[in-house]
Amino acid sequence: MRPSIVILDAATLGDDISLAPLEALGNVTRYHTTLPDERIAHIGEAEIVITNKVVIDEEVMMRAPKLKLICVAATGMNNIDLAAAEKLGIDVRNVKGYSTKSVAQHTFAMLFYLLEQLRYYDDVVKDGRWSVSGIFTDVTRPFYEIAGKKWGIIGFGEIGQEVARLATAFGAHVAYYSTSGLNLSHEYVHQPLEVLLETSDIVSIHAPLTEKTMMLINETNLPLLKDKAVLLNLGRGGIVNETDLAFELDRREIYAGLDVLETEPIDPQNPLLHIKHKERLLITPHMAWTSVEARKTLIEGIARNIREYLKK
C-alpha cells in the first residue's frame, strides 16, 4: 500500500520543480502554505510529512497518530521538536549540502551589487545622466577589487568553506571565525571575532542560529567594521541585530547585504526599511538557497530519505 505523503508548504519549493520523485513513492497531497492552526488538519492521517519552515511540535505529533517520518526540506531542523519526535518514535530527516553552491553564488551577487555601486550606475544610464555627461565613462562612485582585500567569514561549515574557496580564487586573503569554537582545522587563519571584524574589508556570515550566534553582530562590535566595509548575512536572521545595523548604516559609510531577517517576511516597521542611506543596503527575500539546481537536489534528497525509510 502506497504511503500518504503531505507537503505542508509546497510554495517554498516553487511551481517550476517537478515533484515526480516524491509522487513515485506515495500518494502526495500538497498544501501551498500551512498556518499554525491548520497543521493538524493538513497532516491528518499522513504517514510522511514534508515541511520547510512549518513548525511541528509535540502537540502536533501527538495528534497525528499515523505520522512516522518528518522530512525537513532544509538543512536546519530547529522547527521540529526533535526530543518529542524521538520519544514518539517518529523519524526526522533533513537534507544537507543541497544549496551550498547556490548560497555561495548569491553571496557574490550581493557583494558585487554593493561593491560596484551597480544600482547607482544603472540609474545613471537609464535616467539620462550618462547621455548628457559628455564623457564615455563615469567614475563618480569609485569601486574596489576583491583581489588583495581581507575577507572574513563567520561560520565555516560547507557554505563558508565554499565562499572561502571562491574568494581565494578572486585573490582575497581569507580568515574565519568559528562560531562553535570547534571547526579549527583549516588552511585559513582563524581569528577572534573582534579581530576579524576590525581587519576585514568584506565580512560574510554563514552560521546557524544558536544561543552563541543570537545577536552576535550588534552595537558593541558593528563600530569595529572598517569604513566602506561590506557586511553580508546569508546565515540566519537573528545573528545581526537589525536595529543596531540600521543605526550604523546611517551613522557612517558601511554597506550591508542581507538575505535573512529575524522576522520573515520582513515587518514593514523594520528600521532597515527606513534608513536614510538606502544605497548602503541590499535585502533579498531569503532566496540564496533557491537556485533551480539546488531545489532539484533538495527534492532528490527528500525522495532519498523517504526511500531509506520505506526500506526499513
Distance CA 226, CA 85 (A): 46
Distance CA 30, CA 280 (A): 40
Backbone φ and ψ of 244, nearest 5°: -65, -40
Which pLDDT score, from 0 to 100, does residue 185 have?
82
- What residue ranges of the chain have pLDDT lower than 70? none
pTM above 0.85, yes or no: yes
Which pLDDT score, from 0 to 100, does residue 104 have?
98
Does residue 236 have an active-site annotation?
yes
Q: How many residues does the chain have?
A: 312
Which pLDDT score, from 0 to 100, does residue 264 have?
96
Which pLDDT score, from 0 to 100, does residue 265 have?
96
Distance CA 304, CA 21 (A): 9
Fold for domain 100-283? Rossmann fold (3.40.50)
Does residue 58 have an active-site annotation?
no
Farthest CA pair distance, the chain:
74
Distance CA 107, CA 206 (A): 10
**CATH superfamily to which 4-96+292-311 belongs:** NAD(P)-binding Rossmann-like Domain (3.40.50.720)
3-state secondary structure of 107: helix
Q: Which of 42, 206, 286, 295 is catalytic?
A: 286
Task: For residue 235, give the amino acid letter.
Answer: G
Q: Does 65 sit behind a cis peptide bond, omega within 30 degrees of 0 on the bond before it?
A: no
Distance CA 52, CA 87 (A): 22
Q: Which of 45, 59, 264, 308 is catalytic?
A: 264
Across the beta sheet with 202-205, the strand order is: 189-190, 173-177, 150-154, 202-205, 230-233, 255-258, 281-283
- Beta-strand pair 150-154/91-93: unpaired
CATH 3.40.50.720 range(s) for the chain read: 4-96+292-311, 100-283
Q: Which of 106, 236, 280, 295 is catalytic?
A: 236
Query: For residue 232, what is the enclosing H or E element?
Result: strand 230-233
Which pLDDT score, from 0 to 100, does residue 181 have?
87
